[in-house]
Amino acid sequence: MIYLDNAATTFPKPKEVTDVYTQWGCEMPVNAGRGSYRLAAQAEQQIRETRGKLAKYVHALSDEDVYFTASATMAANVILQGFPWKKGDIVFVSPYEHNAVMRTLHAMEEQKGIQIKVLPVQSDGQIDLEKTGNQFKAESPRLVCVTQVSNVTGYLLPYADVFHLAKQAGAMTFLDSAQGLGICPVHVIEEEIDFLIFAGHKNLYGMFGTGGFVNVSRFPLQPLYYGGTGSDSRNLSLPEKGSSRFEVGSPDTASIAALGKAIELTQPRAEEDLLHERKLLVKLSDGLSNIEGVRILGAQPLENSVGILSFVCDRYRSEELGMILDEDFDIAVRTGYHCAPLVHDLIGSVEYGGTVRVSMGRFTTETEVQALVEAVKELMEE
């Protein structure tokens, strides 16, 4: 199989990562923080070490600002449902947001009476910073949510510029780095980020079951989940601070330990991975652009892009083309709306049932990209 769905999850995972996962999941499957024996203590230490690596990676002030969840979606829910909303609070989002953010905010709109507004964009789809600043001044948002990278078009958004404008208007800031962390640098202090959510299984090259958030400003959030933490068990209230306030239940030690190894491997080669993806992106874009009836949607200048490209074909709906590529050519791509509800009106893909999304990764080769181009060309020339 030619795997071109790395925006869903990167594949394959490095052997060093899967070895750690197997070690803690199969050979030493103890419950971290739930025992005084040595192996349980070692498991807890593994989690602490990964927490420290993540904090260092994003330049957080302290390891204690990092919290683990089972996914970025769960992390978004913890923050956005735990935020002290007031009726009428205004939240700005980009038109590129994932449903991890959009559906959670929509629920808060229905339950808490907040207002959701969309950042203005230019005709090329890029965020219009001048209009954004004017809107912030006029409407005083409570929170501004921006995804680091569009999971549909690969657009690397100017989130730091948006957040600077948000801070000038007195707003808090929320970065969805699920699609970017591991390939694009993040500095939570310099870029004025209050909350950051991350996914371990994407460009960090970790396993499923790892996500989390960084509460950079240490803003007091209400817990979403309640339960055992392995300490102070006679107290029916959760701790007021520390990881135990948001990390209840048995931790996924195997996935978290594997994430620590993944960060070790990924951090020093992130720039190399990005350059590799951009090289493949140019090859893919050039190849598809020469096929009659194929349109690339939402493309941005290379310096504002990662290795994700969406296209549509005049002859096929996106889902149909994806099925043919799978069944006849053994090529795996993603089709549809990609859990990003707003962007498809912007790029004009609704009439096609969404887009065909091609997403490259560390292990994607030029030969694989060329095979996709030739397959699409063959289908369009039949």
Mean pLDDT of all residues in 205-216: 96
Mean model confidence pLDDT for the chain: 95
- Cα separation, 203 vs 205, whole angstroms: 5
| Cα distance between residue 162 and residue 243, in whole Å | 29
Q: Which residues contact 242 (CB under 8 A, 6 or more apart)?
A: 64
Residue found under tokens 């079951």: 209
The answer to whether 257 and 20 are in contact (CB under 8 A) is yes
Q: Which two tokens stand for residue 208?
A: 């499923």
pLDDT score of 224 more than 90? no
Is residue 203 within 8 Å of 182, Cβ to Cβ?
yes
209: Cβ–Cβ under 8 A, 6 or more apart, which residues?
70, 71, 200, 201, 252, 255
Question: Cβ distance 149 to 181 under 8 Å?
Answer: no
Decide: residue 217, CB within 10 A, 0-12 exposed, 13-18 middle, 19+ buried: middle
Does residue 161 have a pLDDT over 80? yes
Q: What does R_g of the chain's alpha carbons equal in angstroms? A: 21
Residues in CB range of 233: below 8 A, 6 or more apart = none
- pLDDT confidence tier of residue 2, bands split at 50, 70 and 90: very high
Residues 201 and 73: beta-carbon distance below 8 Å: no
Token pair listed for 337: 């709306």
Q: Are 2 and 195 in contact (CB under 8 A)?
A: no
Residue 231 has pLDDT above 80, yes or no: no
Sorting pLDDT into bands at 50, 70 and 90, what band is 280? very high
Q: How are beta strands 211-215 and 294-297 bridged, if at all? A: unpaired
pLDDT grade for 251, boundaries at 50, 70 and 90: confident
Task: Say how many C-beta atoms besides its own lie within 10 A of residue 142's C-beta.
Answer: 19
The pLDDT, as a whole number, for residue 38 is 86
Q: Has residue 229 got a pLDDT over 90?
A: no
Task: Determine the residue type at 261.
Answer: K
Please tell me which residue, 160 or 240, carries the higher pLDDT value. 160
Longest dimension (CA), the chain: 71
In degrees, rounded to 5, the angle at the alpha carbon of residue 36 between the alpha carbons of residues 35 and 39 is: 75
Domains defined for the chain, CATH in brackets: 2-10+269-381 (3.90.1150.10), 15-268 (3.40.640.10)
Lowest mean pLDDT among 141-150, 225-234, 243-252, 354-363: 225-234
| Reported confidence tier of residue 33, pLDDT bands at 50, 70, 90 | confident
CB 7 within 8 A of CB 179: yes
Where does the pLDDT of residue 235 fall: very low under 50, low under 70, confident under 90, or very high at 90 and above?
confident
Residue 35 has pLDDT above 80, yes or no: no
pLDDT in tens, 108-136: 999 999 999 999 999 999 999 999 999 99
